[in-house]
Structure 1
Amino acid sequence: MSLTAALNLALAALNLQAAPLPVAPPASPVVAAQTVDFARLEIADGAGPAIEAGVWTPPSKAGTRRPLIVISHGNGGDFRSHEATARALAQAGFTVAALTHTGDNWRDQSQATNVAQRPRQLHVLIDYLVKDWTGRDAIDPARVGAFGFSSGGFTVLTAAGGEPDLGRVLDHCRAHPEFYDCGLVSSHGAPPSVMDQTWGHDARIKSVVAAAPALGFTFTRQGLSGVTQPVQLWRAEGDHVLPSPFYAEPVRDALPRPPEYHSVPVADHFDFLPPCSSRLAALAPVICTPTPGFDRAAFQDQFNREVIGFFRRTL
């Protein structure tokens, strides 16, 4: 059974709108209770519907201005996709905000290949948090980091200054029609060409963590010349969704400043997501089935520690 078919069955079983998802649907991952506060937001977006977001914050201390970390999920996810990482970051002293990408989430895949909308939406999120949010006085706008997984990895690299060449997508998919991203192109249409795009960048992003970034092959040295911030880059060596050497490796080789590079032996694509609840595991085994010989829970603890350490060093 294909990844898309398995996830559609899972959503149908939940009586939800079916959509092709490569990340966890809305059943929240199992996470331990943390001493952090959480709020769900609806943020006005002049270019589309309001953006759904979640914000995790440490207990407030008068006069404290904390770094802000924004999170971009993979294709078909939502703001809860990396809740465990968000909570870990908040417990470590960061204000953390994750958005649900309009048109590319578990409810709605209508804009799944219109990837230029993603960095623009991330910019809207940052703008709201540092200018309009009621908790803005506790954010240091000079210390903003961005974390993204899969399509979210592409998003944060682009938001940080990257200029992808989407003209490479069609040739890539002619050569690799069986790849997941090429399946999206086949079902949703190719993304608008690079000549038709205005890429939204946000100079407030001072450091980036990208895990298994999608569309890595669209970045050239020139296209990543604007990403001069520190980058922590992650690759799963057993990635069957975005396989080597087309995604993380081109980003690693094109960045003007060598990234802090982590290649995780044995790991598969979805090992960058938290372990699934038993309910989600029963509904979406393609996402949740353990990778043979790999301890996802232990890796997630290590991954979160590495991400926290990187953002502490760079922000």
Structure 2
Amino acid sequence: MVRLVALTAFALALFAAPSFAGNVGFMEVKIGNGTEPPLTVGIWYPTNAPAIVHSWGNNTQRVAENALIEGHDLPLIVMSHGGGGWYDSHYDTALALAHAGFVAAAVSHAGDTFDDQTQVLQLWRRPIQLRRLVDYMLAEWLGRNHLDKARIGAFGFSNGGFTVLVAAGGVPNLSEMAPYCRAHPDHDLCQALKTAGVDLNLSVSVPANAWGPDPRIKAVVIAAPAFGFTFGRAGLRGVRVPVQLWRAADDQHQPNPYYEEAVHANLPRSPEYHVVANAGHYDFLPPCDARLTRKSPALCASGPGFDRSGFHEKFNAEVVRFFKAELR
């Protein structure tokens, strides 16, 4: 029996991670977004074209820019960054997925990026934009015929974790923010809202279609989900897909137990749950080089003795393993 299980696992691994492509291709595209300006998207995918080192933003990546895609029936992972990020915020995870035979597509969430925070609290915009990304990848992307439309997953961090929870069927209650901040005025979220002059006692007008799930998404990875306390058991009862959930044990930005633990406790189906010892909130972002560390020390600084590079090797491997298992 042990031998049979091992052989079966080996066969599934071969199926889920084809070995036809040796490199990663990359392209940036603009996609339509209704009456608003186009969304910017980064796409990583398997290719056999030669790869060289390119620089995007604050990162360098070895990719083949605008190369031909290799393979067929490839699973798709759509990615949602945290507040103030952009599509490249989790480039190392996207690279790991593409090396494993996935297509990874990440959207810069208009109104909640490093250069545009004008609509950061209009949280309902994010799931709509993620849904638009799936639409584009399946119907408009030039590599759409290489995709398996039945194997789609989603990855999200912080505000992106909130976004992916909604895409998986979660329905938040944003009116929970007011009592939360009355009880915890010292928490980072509440301090930020106070500084921004947000009156939490005012009713929030949320569009009717804001919290609709995307049934095309079959599995999700969620790291440090923002606003976890706004869902509750009733708000998460519609999440039926497999979930891999991550918490940084020393997260000072999203203090325990109001975020990940609130999600963990209320999901109808127990997630695969990882608590990362000694990690802080921003340790889910890729390791920083010296220049970015000087520019954004708050995002780049890890706690004493925490090896962000070593953690990301394990983190990315676990993300790939989970999606291989759940999207086979």
Taking structure 1 as the reference length, what is the TM-score of the superposition?
A: 0.86
Counterpart of 2:293 in structure 1: which amino acid?
A
Maintained 8 Å contact 1:225/1:255: yes
Maintained 8 Å contact 2:153/2:218: yes
In the other structure, the counterpart of 1:286 is 298
Q: Determine the C-alpha separation between the residues in 1 that align with 2:187 and 2:103.
A: 36
Match of 1:234 among 221, 224, 246: 246
Q: Determine the C-alpha separation between the residues in 1 that align with 2:113 and 2:187.
A: 20
Maintained 8 Å contact 1:166/1:193: no
Maintained 8 Å contact 2:124/2:206: no
What are the superposed Cα offsets for residues 34-86 of structure 1, whole Å, 9 maximum, x if unpaired?
Answer: 81000001111004221111000001335x11000011000000001000000
2:65 matches 1:55: no
Q: Compared with structure 1, are the counterparts of its residues 103 and 174 closer, same or farther at alpha carbon in structure 2 (3 Å cutoff)?
A: same
What are the superposed Cα offsets for residues 216-269 of structure 1, whole Å, 9 maximum, x if unpaired?
Answer: 001111111111000000000000111101100010011110000001111110
Q: Determine the C-alpha separation between the residues in 2 that align with 1:188 and 1:85.
A: 35
In the other structure, the counterpart of 1:137 is 145
In the other structure, the counterpart of 2:312 is 300
Maintained 8 Å contact 1:113/1:185: no
Number of aligned residue pairs: give it.
281
Q: Compared with structure 1, are the counterparts of its residues 188 and 200 closer, same or farther at alpha carbon in structure 2 (3 Å cutoff)?
A: farther
Q: Compared with structure 1, are the counterparts of its residues 51 and 190 closer, same or farther at alpha carbon in structure 2 (3 Å cutoff)?
A: farther
Maintained 8 Å contact 1:71/1:99: yes
Deviation for aligned residue 1:91? 0.4
Maintained 8 Å contact 2:39/2:108: yes
In the other structure, the counterpart of 1:5 is none
SS at match of 1:262: strand
Q: Compared with structure 1, are the counterparts of its residues 253 and 307 closer, same or farther at alpha carbon in structure 2 (3 Å cutoff)?
A: same
Match of 2:206 among 177, 181, 196: 196
Deviation for aligned residue 1:176? 1.9
Q: Determine the C-alpha separation between the residues in 2 that align with 1:241 and 1:218.
A: 16
Taking structure 2 as the reference length, what is the TM-score of the superposition?
A: 0.83
Match of 1:207 among 197, 219, 233: 219
The 5 Å alignment of 1:32-111 reads: 35-59=23-47, 60-61=69-70, 64-111=72-119
Counterpart of 2:263 in structure 1: which amino acid?
V
Counterpart of 2:282 in structure 1: which amino acid?
F
What are the superposed Cα offsets for residues 258-299 of structure 1, whole Å, 9 maximum, x if unpaired?
Answer: 000001111110110111011000111111123112111000
2:134 matches 1:126: yes
SS at match of 1:114: coil
Q: Determine the C-alpha separation between the residues in 1 that align with 2:164 and 2:249.
A: 21
Deviation for aligned residue 1:181? 2.1
In the other structure, the counterpart of 1:185 is 193
What are the superposed Cα offsets for residues 60-119 of structure 1, whole Å, 9 maximum, x if unpaired?
Answer: 335x11000011000000001000000010000000000000000011101111100000
SS at match of 2:166: helix
Q: Determine the C-alpha separation between the residues in 1 that align with 2:258 and 2:150.
A: 33
Maintained 8 Å contact 1:113/1:188: no
